[in-house]
């Protein structure tokens, strides 16, 4: 790819790009240029395409973001990788932060390669690779649980752990399930559904069923963790904001030889009774300086669901800041 840049004044900028592999352009541009339209929306620029050349106009900062995002996507295609709508958003997000998402290592699972979609998620993946205990704090849609499950599946497939153990506090911190109909499995399944959903994105259904049957994958409510030592496994506690300090202390001390542990939660979404302290908040305060423990804080900028979700998270965050102020 060759390029030239021409500027017009301080507030406006024009950048031109020329590509040397025409075979990739149909994918890069998308059907009816929809990928370029999406970049225009996200980067606040105008893009015109003529053959193997693009012209990007807008403010200097915005054209720089669009240019960097398109360059990263083009390099991704040259490496034989595909481009999905989420990749377009991620490329602009990385470019806006000053980073480069084109060389993202990602996580390999049976069904897909999972990659970071934001700088915060990239830091999270690095922590998952490097530390034995990771706490991920952030809003809905920021990838806390999904990336943790992907890493666990990857390590299981590579033979680096013997089991995956997935847990959540069921219903509420007290885990009072008696009023629900059915046996214990039927009672807890609705509250563990997000973990099943993530698994089905990583593994074929028959493999999940076989591994659940063999015990290679275990999904259980938090109450079932008491008294156990979890060795040579990858352990995830999801929705940790709904634990009590006692439950959290019990859980993190289950870590055994050769195991890794990930605790995920959204501190702003606790379902605990009014006035009761969250075990997640207590752990942040207690373990913040413990060697080997890593805290990763994700924000609205890391939300990779619908654009409206990001705006909703930002609105709630702004309200919370105003109330605290």
288, 160: one domain:
yes
pLDDT tens for 35-94 read 999 999 989 999 999 988 999 999 999 999 999 999 989 988 988 888 888 888 888 888
What was the pLDDT predicted at 173?
Answer: 41
Percent of all residues in the chain with a pLDDT value above 90, rounded to a whole number: 49
The average confidence (pLDDT) of the chain is 85
50, 137: one domain:
no
pLDDT tens for 98-122 read 765 544 567 877 777 788 888 899 9
What was the pLDDT predicted at 97?
Answer: 77
11 — pLDDT class (breaks 50, 70, 90): low
| DSSP secondary structure, 34-73, as one string | HHHHHHHHHHT-EEEEETTEEEEEE-HHHHHHHHHHHHHH
Q: Structurally, how many domains does the chain consist of?
A: 2
123, 44: one domain:
no
At which of 48, 67, 97 does a domain end?
Answer: 97
pLDDT tens for 19-38 read 988 889 999 999 989 999 99
pLDDT tens for 247-270 read 999 999 999 999 999 999 999 888
At which of 69, 97, 125 does a domain end?
Answer: 97
Please provide residue 68's backbone torsions phi and psi, each rounded to the nearest 5 degrees.
-70, -40
282, 198: one domain:
yes
What are the E-state strand segments in 246-325?
260-265, 293-297
Host domain of residue 269: 107-324
Q: Decide if pLDDT at 10 tops 70.
A: no
Q: Decide if pLDDT at 6 tops 80.
A: no
What was the pLDDT predicted at 183?
Answer: 55
Record the pTM: 0.76
167, 67: one domain:
no
pLDDT tens for 222-251 read 888 888 989 999 999 999 999 999 999 999
Least confident of 101-115, 116-130, 161-175: 101-115
Q: How far is CA 102 from CA 77, 78, 158, 192, 285, in A?
A: 10, 11, 25, 34, 36
The residue-averaged pLDDT of 204-210 equals: 92
Q: How far is CA 60 from CA 5, 12, 102, 183, 214, in A?
A: 11, 6, 22, 62, 57
Domain CATH number, residue 307: 3.40.50.300
């Amino acid at each position: 790819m060759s390029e030239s840049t021409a500027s017009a004044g301080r507030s406006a900028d024009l950048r031109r790009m020329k590509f040397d592999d025409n075979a990739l352009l149909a994918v890069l541009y998308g059907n009816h240029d929809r990928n370029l339209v999406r970049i225009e929306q996200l980067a606040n620029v105008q893009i015109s395409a003529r053959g193997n050349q693009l012209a990007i106009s807008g403010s200097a900062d915005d054209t720089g973001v669009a240019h960097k995002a398109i360059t990263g996507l083009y390099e991704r295609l040259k490496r034989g990788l595909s481009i999905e709508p989420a990749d377009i958003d991620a490329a602009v997000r990385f470019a806006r932060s000053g980073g480069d998402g084109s060389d993202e290592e990602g996580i390999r699972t049976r069904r897909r390669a999972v990659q970071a979609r934001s700088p915060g998620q990239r830091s999270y993946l690095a922590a998952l690779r490097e530390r034995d205990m990771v706490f991920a704090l952030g809003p809905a849609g920021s990838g806390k649980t999904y990336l943790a499950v992907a890493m666990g599946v990857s390590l299981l497939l590579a033979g680096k752990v013997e089991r995956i153990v997935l847990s959540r506090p069921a219903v509420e911190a007290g885990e009072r399930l008696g009023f629900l109909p059915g046996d214990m499995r039927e009672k807890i399944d609705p509250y563990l559904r997000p973990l099943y959903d993530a698994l089905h994105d990583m593994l074929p259904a028959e493999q999940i069923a076989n591994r659940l049957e063999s015990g290679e994958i275990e999904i259980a409510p938090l109450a079932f963790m008491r008294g156990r030592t979890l060795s040579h496994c990858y352990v995830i506690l999801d929705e940790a904001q709904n634990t009590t300090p006692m439950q959290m202390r019990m859980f993190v001390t289950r870590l055994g030889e050769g195991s890794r542990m990930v605790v995920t939660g959204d501190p702003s979404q606790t379902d605990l009774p009014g006035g009761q302290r969250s075990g997640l908040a207590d752990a942040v305060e207690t373990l913040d300086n413990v060697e080997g423990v890593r805290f990763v804080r994700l924000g609205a900028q890391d939300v990779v669901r619908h654009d409206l979700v990001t705006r909703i998270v930002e609105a709630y965050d702004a309200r919370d800041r105003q109330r605290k102020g």
